[in-house]
Structure 1
Amino acid sequence: MMKKTFFTITGGRPMKEIEFYFNDKTTNLPVYRFQDGLGRYWMAHNRWAKHRIPSINKLP
């Protein structure tokens, strides 16, 4: 119960890194695929990223 409340308050952060995706050509930073504490998948630069993009693919 407390864990779900924490992840709800923080928007699912911190996220668990799953794999490297690519290097962003604009910022030259690596983009990783993450799973947040609520089970959603994202592409972001780090596990606490405020700006992140939903990942369409799910793990096999």
Structure 2
Amino acid sequence: MKPVKTRSVNRPNISEAQRNQVAVISALLFLIAALLSLYVAWQDLRTGGNSEVFI
């Protein structure tokens, strides 16, 4: 009995430059999120840690 041939799913080839761009964008977004969380934590410490949340 012959083995069944399967087709592999071809991924689009991503160049190294595109990978580097994605890595830089990801790093920038991560830094923005970290800075925002530090800002919120700092504001919370300055106001005495009130548990009220205003949206």
Q: Which TM-score band (shorter chain)?
A: under 0.3
**Higher normalized strand content (fraction of residues):** 1
Which structure's CA Rg is the greater one?
A: 2
Higher relative contact order (CA 8 A, sep 6+): 1
Q: TM-score, normalised by structure 1?
A: 0.22
TM-score, length-normalised on structure 2?
A: 0.23
